[in-house]
Structure 1
Amino acid sequence: MRDTTLTRVQSDVVAKIIDYIRREKLPADSRLTESQLAEEVGVSRSPIRAALQLLTDKGIVISAANKGHYLARDGSTLDALDLPISPPPDVSLYDRIAMDRMRDRVPEQFTEASFMRRYEVSRAQLVRTLTKMSQDGLVRRSTGHGWIFMPSLNSAEAYAASYRFRIIVEPAGLMEATFLLDRPTMERCREAHEQMLIRAKSGKLSGREIFDTNAKFHEMLAIMSGNRFIAQAVEQQNRLRQLSEYYVYDDEDRIQTLVREHCEIMDALSARDQIWAATLLRRHLEIASRLVPPFAKSNSERTA
């Protein structure tokens, strides 16, 4: 098959469609509509249409004129599927820029010209990478050819203060009188964690994917609290910490620990034991706060 290079957004959409098919255990011949997938993935129909075309090219989806799209095989058979999709060519540049920002090697505001010199890349390559980072909420355009990094936790003091705040707020959310258990959402969250373990074993899991699953878990708990201020606070913390924690879970043991602790919290909630769930959540955050973020690495590791 022809190797295919996707943008970060396209890769994310394809991965989310595959996860949806696996999660729902869809049988062969199941119909896949653009509107349904757009709602499930949270994007417009245009990237869904492009993703379905790619999956059709790979023989995973069948496209029939005037009939739409249908799954060519059972969703369960996709677990071990190795799609011949190449990562975007600018991933390493993305990570270099992100790590440099985390270690405070580059300023909050910068120009394309200064980064072209620093990283010895073309303007086209740099703009592609910065566009991906903008889509991930890490940077935004300024005036002219200028860019600004979004606020992040790029100091040990800010990182520690963020976790102290979360330890106060998040467990309290589970004890709110307005707390309402959302079993279907929690079940989907559990399945996403199981898929994360499978992908980790195959070595195909990125730090960004781990963070996204982790963040969605904490936002799910905050939303179930029924307190919109807690939900907003957790969402804001996730935006601030995404850059610092993209690179924290760098081995399978840490990923397994994260999944185990999250599942223990969900088990306690399923058993209607909110007090124990809150205790486990507090312990989970306290343990996570001790993980060493990139900006706290030793100077000997700080190579450009």
Structure 2
Amino acid sequence: MDAEAFARHRQQQEALLHGDILLLPRAELFQVNASFHEMLVGCSGNQFLFEAVRRQNRLRRLIEYRHQIDRSRLANQAREHLRLLDLVERGDLKEASAFLSAHLDNVRSITSGPDTGSRRAARPSGTHVAAPATAVRSSAREGPGSE
């Protein structure tokens, strides 16, 4: 875990809650959250997973720039990001993994529309969170200051 990176991302997420959600341009809002996701996955030390998140962010950037951003949902996502930082910093990786799973389900339901539940139910249990949960669990093995 990189304590400086965690502190920087904590500050950015708190700034979103204190008004930046309304003030920042869409591109900067996207970058704040994309870099948060990359930092968190980077804790895993899994280069394949890190590159997958970077590719996903590039695709999301293309899609999201074409749509009007719903700033109302960003405050809740910032609070969830802060909670996730708290859990990982505390070393409570089992709860962080469960929280991340719920966070991703919430975001997925917002971005995928109402039929998400039926698609999720068709997948084997736990399949939709394997990579992110691994990223959080792996960060524990590295310990504080290992980056």
Larger relative helix fraction: 2
Matched, 1:222 2:41: yes
Match of 1:266 in 2: 85
CA displacement at 1:292 relative to structure 2: 4.0
Match of 2:32 in 1: 213
CA distance in 1, matches of 2:77, 2:18: 14
Structure 1 residues 75-98: Cα deviation after superposition (integer angstroms, max 9, x where no partner)? xxxxxxxxxxxxxxxxxxxxxxxx
Contact 1:210 / 1:249 at 8 angstroms: preserved in 2? no
AA matched with 2:62: L
Match of 2:136 in 1: none
AA matched with 1:226: G
AA matched with 1:228: Q
Structure 1 residues 69-127: Cα deviation after superposition (integer angstroms, max 9, x where no partner)? xxxxxxxxxxxxxxxxxxxxxxxxxxxxxxxxxxxxxxxxxxxxxxxxxxxxxxxxxxx
Match of 2:57 in 1: 238
Larger relative strand fraction: 1
CA distance in 1, matches of 2:107, 2:6: 21
Contact 2:37 / 2:53 at 8 angstroms: preserved in 1? yes
TM-score (norm 2): 0.68
CA distance in 1, matches of 2:98, 2:111: 23
Contact 1:268 / 1:276 at 8 angstroms: preserved in 2? yes
CA displacement at 1:199 relative to structure 2: 3.5
User: SS of 2:109's equivalent?
Assistant: coil
CA displacement at 1:229 relative to structure 2: 0.9
AA matched with 1:280: F
AA matched with 1:234: V
Please, which runs of 5 or more residues in structure 2 have no aligned partner? 113-147
Matched, 1:194 2:22: no
CA distance in 2, matches of 1:237, 1:287: 18
Match of 1:276 in 2: 95
Match of 1:286 in 2: 105
Please, which runs of 5 or more residues in structure 1 have no aligned partner? 1-180, 294-304
Give the count of matched residue pairs.
111
Larger Rg: 1
CA distance in 1, matches of 2:38, 2:8: 14
Structure 1 residues 251-298: Cα deviation after superposition (integer angstroms, max 9, x where no partner)? 3x31110101101110100110111111111111111112247xxxxx
AA matched with 2:103: H
CA displacement at 1:248 relative to structure 2: 6.0
Higher RCO (CA < 8 A, seq sep 6+)? 2
CA displacement at 1:198 relative to structure 2: 3.0
User: SS of 1:225's equivalent?
Assistant: coil
CA distance in 2, matches of 1:184, 1:232: 22
Aligned-CA RMSD value: 1.9
Contact 2:84 / 2:96 at 8 angstroms: preserved in 1? yes
AA matched with 1:212: Q
CA distance in 2, matches of 1:191, 1:275: 24
Structure 1 residues 140-159: Cα deviation after superposition (integer angstroms, max 9, x where no partner)? xxxxxxxxxxxxxxxxxxxx
1:1-304 paired onto structure 2 within 5 Å: 181-200=1-20, 203-246=22-65, 247=67, 249-251=69-71, 253-292=72-111
CA distance in 1, matches of 2:9, 2:76: 16
CA distance in 2, matches of 1:284, 1:221: 14
